[in-house]
């Protein structure tokens, strides 16, 4: 419920889904929190009551997705996951992702972004480069990517197997400032405000 540009984080993802109702059959919110439930229903979204044990810090996204499918009657479908902690998404991202997913006859898709940082490990107080050699130019490094959390698409049979990534998986590369926003701390929220202000899309 923390506001980003005056709008609660959750509402950003709900609005994004509602802007793409031509691509989605149903919009669902899974929560155990009564305030979030009432808030979501006031926005015209169906809410699935999340069991308390799936609302802990140790519960996984997969556990929640399995519960959602169970509540839907284990029907065959495709799930698009929009996390509230990733409230900013390029306008056409969902349409492009679904087109890529369907054209590739994929069973899963996730968005990723290129990483340009030089990583290393510290072993016995000594810095050991991990993805480069000392003195190597950044542009000569082997490309590495990170899971940016903007969106995930999965077929229901894959979820039932407990997998987020199938054999026929597509990694959709998204190089956009919004991909850098993943809100877990107050500093992340402040950065999201900055990104939204500087790169607001029409």
Q: How does pLDDT run across 94-152, given as a tens digit for each residue?
A: 999 999 999 999 999 999 999 989 999 999 999 999 999 999 998 899 999 999 999 99
Q: Which distant-in-sequence residues (6+ apart) come within 8 Å of 106 by Cβ?
A: 100, 153, 166, 168, 169, 170
Element holding 71 (H helix, E strand):
helix 61-71
pTM for this predicted structure: 0.91
Nearest to 157 by CA among 108, 99, 100, 94: 108
CATH of domain 3-112+147-198: 3.90.550.10
pLDDT score, position 56: 86
CA 181 to chain centre: 10
Q: Cα–Cα distances in Å, from 101 out to 2, 92, 130, 154?
A: 32, 14, 32, 9
> What are the sequence ranges of the domains in the chain?
3-112+147-198
């Amino acid at each position: 419920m923390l506001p980003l540009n005056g709008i609660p984080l959750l509402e950003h993802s709900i609005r994004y889904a509602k802007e793409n109702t031509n691509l989605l059959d149903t919009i669902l919110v899974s929560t155990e929190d009564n305030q979030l439930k009432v808030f979501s229903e006031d926005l015209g979204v169906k809410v699935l009551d999340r069991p308390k044990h799936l609302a802990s810090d140790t519960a996984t996204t997969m556990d929640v997705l399995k519960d959602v499918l169970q509540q839907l009657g284990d029907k065959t479908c495709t799930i698009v996951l929009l996390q509230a902690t990733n409230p900013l998404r390029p306008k056409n991202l969902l349409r492009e992702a679904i087109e890529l997913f369907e054209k590739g006859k994929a069973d899963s898709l996730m968005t990723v972004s290129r990483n340009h940082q030089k990583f290393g490990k510290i072993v016995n107080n000594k810095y050991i480069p991990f993805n480069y050699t000392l003195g190597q130019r950044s542009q000569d490094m082997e490309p590495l990517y990170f899971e940016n959390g903007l969106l995930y698409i999965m077929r229901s049979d894959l979820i039932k197997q407990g997998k987020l990534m199938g054999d026929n998986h597509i990694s959709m590369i998204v190089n956009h400032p919004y991909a850098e926003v993943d809100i877990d701390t107050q500093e992340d929220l402040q950065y999201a405000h900055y990104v939204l202000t500087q790169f607001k899309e029409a």
